[in-house]
C-alpha cells in the first residue's frame, strides 16, 4: 500500500519537474520578458519575498470562501430538502435555482456592493452565490434516488416524516451531498476572488483577488503567479478537507469510499 501510494505520487511529481525545467529553459533561452512570463525561479523568489502579504491575503480570501462555502452547505441542503418535500414545490422553484446559477457573478457583483457594501460580507455572498447550486442539485438527486423499497419499509413501520428524513433520506443522500460539497469547495474560492475584484477592500484586509489586480497593475507578473498559486492551494485545501470528511463518514458503507 505504502509503496503503491509513493508510486502514484511519483508520476505527477515527475511531470511537474519536467514542465518546470522546460519553462525555466525556454524563458531564459528566448529571454522572454518577465512581465509576459516570468521563469519559475523568479516566481519562487517573489513568493518568498512577499510571503507575508501572500499569507495575509490568503487568510482573508480563505475566510470569505469558508463563510461562503458554509452558507452554501447549509442553505443548499435546506433548499434541497424543501424542494424534495413536494413535486409541486420543486417544479415551481427549481427553474429559479437554475436561473440563479446562470446569473454571471461578475455582472451582479456591483449589486452586492450596493447591498452589502465593500468588504468581506459582499465577498462571502459572492462566494455563496457561485457555490450553492451544486449542493442543491446533488443533494436533490440524492434525496430523489432513495430506494423506494426502503421508503416502503419506513412507511410500513409507521415512520413519521421527520424520522424518514433524518434516518433514511439524508443518510442515503450523503454520497451525493458530498459530491456537491466537493464541487462547491473549489467554486467557493473562485467566487471569493471574483467577489474581491468588485467588492473587495484595497486597504487593510485585502484578499488574493486584490493582490492579483494590484500586482498586475504594477507589472509584477511573478507576484500574480504566486497569488494565483496561493488561491489554487486554498481551493485544494478546502477540497481536501471536504473529501477527507466525506471518506471518513462513508468509509464503512459506500463502495465509492472503501478500498481507495
Select 115 or 253, whichever has its Cβ closest to other proteins. Answer: 253
Which residue, 249, 237, 222, 213, is CA-closest to 65?
237
Residue 145: half-sphere exposure toward Cβ, Cα within 13 Å: 12
How far apart are alpha carbons 144 and 43 in whole angstroms?
Answer: 48
* Interface with other proteins in residues 147-206 (CB under 8 A): 147, 149-150, 152-160, 163, 167-168, 171-172, 174
43-69 in b/e burial notation, b at 16+ Cβ within 10 A? bbebbeebeebbebbbebbbbbbbbbb
How far apart are alpha carbons 201 and 217 in whole angstroms?
Answer: 16
**How many other CB atoms sit within 10 Å of the CB of residue 132?**
27
Select 87 or 160, whichever has its Cβ closest to other proteins. Answer: 160
Minimum distance, C-beta of residue 2 to other proteins, in the bound complex (Å): 24
Minimum distance, C-beta of residue 252 to other proteins, in the bound complex (Å): 5
* Interface with other proteins in residues 130-149 (CB under 8 A): 147, 149
Select 11 or 162, whichever has its Cβ closest to other proteins. Answer: 162
Minimum distance, C-beta of residue 213 to other proteins, in the bound complex (Å): 46
Minimum distance, C-beta of residue 169 to other proteins, in the bound complex (Å): 11
Select 38 or 142, whichever has its Cβ closest to other proteins. Answer: 142
**Residue 183 contacts residue 134 (beta carbons within 8 Å):** yes
Select 207 or 246, whichever has its Cβ closest to other proteins. Answer: 246
Q: Which phi and psi angles does 201 have, rounded to 5°? A: -90, 145
Cell numbers at residue 182, please?
A: 466537493
**Residue 239 contacts residue 185 (beta carbons within 8 Å):** yes
* Interface with other proteins in residues 235-254 (CB under 8 A): 250, 252-254
Select 35 or 147, whichever has its Cβ closest to other proteins. Answer: 147
Minimum distance, C-beta of residue 255 to other proteins, in the bound complex (Å): 8
DSSP 220: -
Does residue number 256 form part of the binding site for other proteins (CB under 8 A)?
A: no
Minimum distance, C-beta of residue 123 to other proteins, in the bound complex (Å): 36
Cell numbers at residue 61, please?
A: 480570501
3-state DSSP assignment of residue 33: coil
- Residues binding other proteins: what is the number (CB under 8 A)? 24
Nearest 5°: the CA angle 51, 55, 58 is: 135
Q: Would you tell me which residues interact with other proteins (CB under 8 A)?
A: 147, 149-150, 152-160, 163, 167-168, 171-172, 174, 250, 252-255, 258
Amino acid at each position: 500500500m505504502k509503496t503503491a501510494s509513493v508510486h502514484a505520487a511519483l508520476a505527477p511529481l515527475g511531470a511537474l519537474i519536467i514542465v518546470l525545467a522546460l519553462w525555466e529553459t525556454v524563458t531564459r533561452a528566448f529571454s522572454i520578458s518577465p512581465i509576459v512570463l516570468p521563469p519559475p525561479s523568479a516566481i519562487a523568489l517573489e513568493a518568498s519575498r512577499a510571503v507575508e502579504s501572500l499569507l495575509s491575503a490568503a487568510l482573508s480570501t480563505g475566510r470569505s470562501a469558508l463563510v461562503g462555502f458554509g452558507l452554501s452547505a447549509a442553505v443548499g441542503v435546506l433548499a434541497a430538502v424543501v424542494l424534495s418535500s413536494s413535486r409541486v414545490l420543486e417544479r415551481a422553484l427549481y427553474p429559479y435555482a437554475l436561473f440563479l446559477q446562470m446569473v454571471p457573478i461578475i455582472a451582479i457583483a456591483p449589486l452586492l456592493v450596493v447591498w452589502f457594501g465593500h468588504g468581506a460580507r459582499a465577498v462571502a455572498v459572492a462566494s455563496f452565490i457561485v457555490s450553492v447550486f451544486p449542493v442543491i442539485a446533488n443533494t436533490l438527486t440524492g434525496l430523489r434516488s432513495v430506494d423506494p423499497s426502503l421508503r416502503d419499509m419506513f412507511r410500513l413501520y409507521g415512520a413519521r416524516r421527520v424520522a424518514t428524513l433524518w434516518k433514511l433520506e439524508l443518510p442515503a443522500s450523503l454520497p451525493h451531498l458530498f459530491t456537491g460539497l466537493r464541487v462547491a469547495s473549489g467554486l467557493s474560492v473562485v467566487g471569493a476572488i471574483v467577489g474581491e475584484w468588485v467588492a473587495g477592500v484595497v486597504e487593510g484586509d485585502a484578499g488574493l483577488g486584490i493582490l492579483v489586480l494590484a500586482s498586475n497593475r504594477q507589472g509584477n507578473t511573478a507576484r500574480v503567479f504566486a497569488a494565483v498559486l496561493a488561491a489554487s492551494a486554498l481551493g485544494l485545501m478546502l477540497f481536501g478537507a471536504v473529501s477527507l470528511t466525506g471518506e471518513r463518514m462513508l468509509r464503512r458503507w459506500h463502495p465509492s469510499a472503501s478500498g481507495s
